[in-house]
Structure 1
């Protein structure tokens, strides 16, 4: 138990570090290839916050632990809204101005219900995984179109500023490869540690994926959102959460389908998916629904955080 806990803790820390190095390297390679900064910010940088979930889900799927990967997706999306956005708004209220976000939230709902429809039969097949992967490609294309058209959107400007400084091509490739290797090794540590802890505690892989692994792999979103909010980049803080949740449902959820298709734990569909949808509706409500100006207050942030901890308590009671 002690070794498994240490492996998972160190693995999560390395996941966060490796994801940062991977994104820095990939963004610098793209800069050297003269890819527009707005496209880099809205694709590579956004995808980077979902890399820990993606690699963990892939490793878990290759080990046949599809429930761990699915739990990681659903738990991370709930944590992104309840924990990440809730704590960020508690620290500093968030004013949402970006028209890009107003277009992305309906797309998030579309992606959410697409994933729900694919999982409704109680199994995640390779066809389901392929559909999600195609959806990811289409979403990246759509986001790139927005980036090229709305050049003065506040969120796009904030994303552009978040891109790391340009490095020479050799250093960029070095960081890219180093980050990828660290991601692979650390994700293996996380998956092994999580499975060992689940067996020791007598709980399912799904519960571990929904809780410990989900919160751990959501740390990049928490760090990025709080840092953005402190710098006055509220649109970027909310955009990190929305973008990460869409990438999780498309890129991360595709991994178990493509690599380990089959039946998953029914609780994921009957309990966790509806709760994730409820949190997504709450995101819409606090961002744009009940007032003019799109401001997420400290009270609303506190309610989101309380909702997340209530969900953890529900999992504790049921397990």
Structure 2
């Protein structure tokens, strides 16, 4: 039953996120917001809603390991698994202007979050600061992309927003938004409840479940999308997607979760996983900076590293 609960939760999270994005985007268009702003905010946050509601539900359910492990594990999976597989299928070119703006922001956010995690907890003040930081980043990104409208990153954000159909009427958009939110809440409850049961039955900590099952599960939509794009020879957006997703996870998801419910960080995450996240982020920045692309062999190295990471978790659990 626990595994069925997890699978059902993942399905509801995926469907709910899609409905929420469509409904919220429809409402935003009715309010006259630009496609670029919609892409940077609603689409960006919308794709991270499975991680958001899962982490908040876990924190409220007294499972801080799942709450923090979901964020840390999702970011590790985004770099090593999603970016790794995408680059292995098709090398990823780096867009210089976006790289110079977004990668330093991600590295700085990773370092700041690690410093906070090393204190043993993420409190409401830290959560509020993280949310303020992601808000400032969105404003900065929006302004820079408005000044360079032909920049590939701006085109990507507008394309993401444009690909999300608007609702035919405000009432329909609102209904779709509420429906999506309801599915997300129900899916998160099923996922977290099932994950706690699996952790208890296997005799492992909730941090291990958060770093693996929950992290991979909530990242499945991005994984499928990125791998499919790479298979069609359109992997160039994968790096920007991973960098943006990781920023949202660290500052937006962890920030919102801590603001709702302060989080005690499990010691195993402090001992090992945050350092793996730091190494993965540094390796991504280094690979992208040298030669201006993420090569196929680097993607293979990332993928192998993720398999080894999962193996290590399995052995040490």
Query: How far does the alpha carbon of each residue in 1:281-312 deviate from its partner, in whole angstroms, 9 at most, with x for none?
Result: 11112212x21xx2222211111111111111
- Partners in 2 of 1:98 and 1:27 — Cα distance? 29
Report the Cα distance in structure 2 between the residues aligned to 1:14 and 1:106, rounded to whole angstroms.
34
Distance 1:125 1:232 in 2: 43
Inter-CA distance 160–232: structure 2 relative to 1 (3 Å threshold): farther
Q: Write the distance in 2 (CA, Å) between the matches of 1:17 and 1:193.
A: 18
Alpha-carbon distance in structure 1 between the residues aligned to 2:246 and 2:199: 25
Pair 1:316-2:314 in alignment: yes
TM-score of the pair, normalised by structure 2: 0.94
Matched, 1:167 2:167: yes
**What pairs up with 1:270-281 in 2 under 5 angstroms?**
270-281=271-282
- Higher mean alpha-carbon deviation, 24-33 vs 219-228, is at 219-228
Deviations 1:215-238 (A, max 9, x none): 000112212323444555444322
Residue 155 of structure 2 is matched in structure 1 by 157
In 1, Cα distance between equivalents of 2:24 and 2:240? 20
Task: Please name the residue that 2:61 is paired with.
Answer: 63
1:133 aligns with 2:131: yes
Deviations 1:174-208 (A, max 9, x none): 22111111101000000000000000000001000
Aligned to 1:214: 215
2:260: which partner in 1?
Answer: 259
Q: Which range moves more in the overlay, 174-183 or 140-149?
A: 140-149
C-alpha RMSD over aligned residues? 1.6
Tell me, in whole angstroms, the C-alpha distance in 1 between the residues paired with 2:305 and 2:70.
18
- Bigger drift between 50-59 and 223-232 goes to 223-232
Cα deviation, 1:27-60, whole Å, max 9, x if unaligned, reads 2221221211111112211212211111000111
Could you say if the C-alpha distance between residues 46 and 256 of structure 1 is closer, same or farther in structure 2, counting changes exceeding 3 Å? closer
Contact 1:155-1:235 at 8 Å conserved across structures: no
Q: Is the 2:10–2:217 Cα contact (8 Å) retained in structure 1?
A: yes
Offset of 1:212 from its aligned partner? 0.5
SS at match of 1:218: helix
Unaligned 5+ segments in structure 1 are none
CA distance in structure 1 between the aligned counterparts of 2:175 and 2:150, rounded to whole angstroms: 33
State the SS of the aligned residue for 1:314: helix
Cα separation, 1, equivalents of 2:232 and 2:151: 17
CA distance in 1, matches of 2:36, 2:232: 19
Question: 3-state SS of the aligned residue for 1:271?
Answer: helix
Q: How far does residue 138 in structure 1 lie from its aligned partner after superposition?
A: 1.6
How high is the TM-score relative to the length of structure 1? Answer: 0.93
Moved more, 65-74 or 133-142: 133-142
Deviation at 1:260, TM superposition (A): 3.1
1:73-112: per-residue Cα shift (whole Å, max 9, x none)? 1000000001111111122221122512331000001111
Match of 1:78 in 2: 76
Confirm or deny: 8 A CA contact 2:71 2:249 kept in the other structure. yes
Comparing 253-262 with 183-192, greater Cα deviation is found at: 253-262
Query: 1:127 and 1:253 mapped to 2: Cα distance?
Result: 12
1:116 Cα deviation (Å)?
Answer: 1.3
Whether the 8 Å contact between 1:57 and 1:255 is mirrored in structure 2 is no
Residues 232-281 of structure 1 deviation map (CA, whole Å, 9 limit, x = unaligned)? 54443221111110111112112442233253211212200010010001
- Report Cα offsets for 1:153-185 as digits up to 9, x if no partner: 112212212221333223222221111111010
Q: CA–CA distance in 2 between the matches of 1:119 and 1:243?
A: 21
